[in-house]
Structure 1
Amino acid sequence: WFGSNLVIAEQLSIGQLLAFITMNQYVSTLVTTLVGLMDELTRVQTATKRLSEVIDYPPEVDKNHQKPDAKISPKADIICSNISFHYAGRIDLLENFSVKFTGGKSIALIGESGCGKSTLAKLIAGLYPVQSGNIQVGIYNLQDLDIDSFRKQVVLVPQDAHFWSRSIIENFQLAVPGVTFEQIVKACQISGANEFISRLPDKYQTVLGEFGANISGGQRQRLAIARAMVNDPAVLILDESTSGLDPVSEAEVLENLLLHRRGKTTIFISHRPKVISRAEWIVLLNNGKLELQGSTASLRAKHGNHLDFLNP
């Protein structure tokens, strides 16, 4: 409008007006591109920083001081002696904590949220190093063993397991190199995953979305349990690993799992009384301390707040 008035007043030629409009478009496009580049540069800097943190993170295993492998017995006792652990910026979550998990049993680890159950499970699985104290599995101290070998024999299944954007078979092979298709199918039958996999168009060749986004939460948990059981670990730890299942499906999965693992150490964390009641032994934590332990029957005979975990 302003330029048109200048042309009418003969203060500006039509050619000059068109040249100005064209240059204005070029400048506007350049500014928009520069703003976009700044946003992209910020994202690249963030990604580069995160990548550098991962690359520069000190390795868990010192190749110059290789630790020995050892076969863990499925009946090995797990003894935590005066262990302490806390996350950065928090007070001690576990301090001088001691407990013994008798080997070869199904054990329920219970307690209110934030009491240290999941942290203890990760310490036993060798995912975090204790800051003081000792964890002994059978006759071996955890710190004396090769951590890679140990983690293949003591396996933890988290509530939200990670899956790669690869086929179901490839996700198993990434977790357990050399695993056979027969082992995969048998593990999936135990966890109930084979049932829904058989209904998929591509069956075991189905490509999972990142984090298993194209299957339901319950299906992811079945797959995660199967993946953990595929090499039949000496110790299996389930951290709310069936919480996404309906009560009927959960009961079926636990029945098959515990039947298959009879005589082997299985630790599960849950808040559901029907799940807890399936354990042969129960360990109750309270604010990072051992409060009670015993069989289901013996704990039911005692009065206390622990009955809230045992009674539906």
Structure 2
Amino acid sequence: MAPSMLMEGGRNHTSVVMFVLLGLSDDKDLQLILFQMFLVIYLVTLIWNLGLIILIRIDPSLHTPMYFFLSFLSFIDICYSSSTSPRMLSDFLKDEKTISFISCATQYFVGCWMGQAECCLLAAMACDRYVAVGRPLQYSAIMSPCLCQKMVVGAYGSGFLGSLFSTVTGFLLHYCGPNIIPNFFCDITQIIPLSCSNPFISQMILFLVCIFVGFSSFLVIILSYGFIAASILKISSLKGSAKAFNTCASHLAVVTIFYGTSLSMYLLPSSSHSEKQDKLLSVFYVIFIPMLNPLIYSLRNKEIKEALRRMVKRLTHLLQ
């Protein structure tokens, strides 16, 4: 897709109006297989996360801070997956995988917003787990509904502002030459190098946003689990220690997968992994994690399993 010609100060110069996504593969047969596989993954992501939200809302036993946060984590996963999966699926069936400049900016904005909101929400959930383990007698008083709502608003608000700054500074650069993105979605770290402008300010703002939102959230999680570990060590009985750790196991697994993948993608030098490895990490980060999060919480959680059994019984009773 050729860049458009614009006039400025009596001189012609080009401005990119479309980006070309290379996608995951050029093989037509493989693309059809990938289309079917990723369609199933996307549907599972939608159904499982939406089902978890509904289950938490209708079952009174799940009306606790942990599940309140989990319902919003599931909403983030739905939005995050939906920002990339539908276009990726449609691109598998196209010969020319192009995306308009505005659509690319919108896709990045939504994905970045949800990704940064997830960082903050995981930090809030880590604080919740610390209070549950370290201050169990004051848990209900400390983690009040009002505080939980403020923490969720703060997580979404921080993600929105961070994404806004990153998107505006990244997409206000002048793009006049190459317009090929070597991935299946709009990743700002692969778009900024295509700019004809000096990208220093945009890269600095992107770096600062990652520090303030991503790293600060990670630091809160590390500190929370440090306090959790100290509290568990104070428990005299082995059974009590195991029970306390079990309340944090699902969250710890989600944090490990989320941050492990994101740190591998964005912090390791590009020379340490190939373009194919970059794409595989992107697939896992963007496509698989939103599906894995509800599965990790559901399969390891007795309360959710019991709530699901109760809901199935109610439905079967109504249908009889």
Taking structure 2 as the reference length, the TM-score comes to 0.24
Taking structure 1 as the reference length, the TM-score comes to 0.24
Which of the two has greater helix per residue?
Answer: 2
Which of the two has greater strand per residue?
Answer: 1
Higher relative contact order (CA 8 A, sep 6+): 2
Please tell me whether Structure 1 or Structure 2 has the larger radius of gyration of its CA atoms.
1
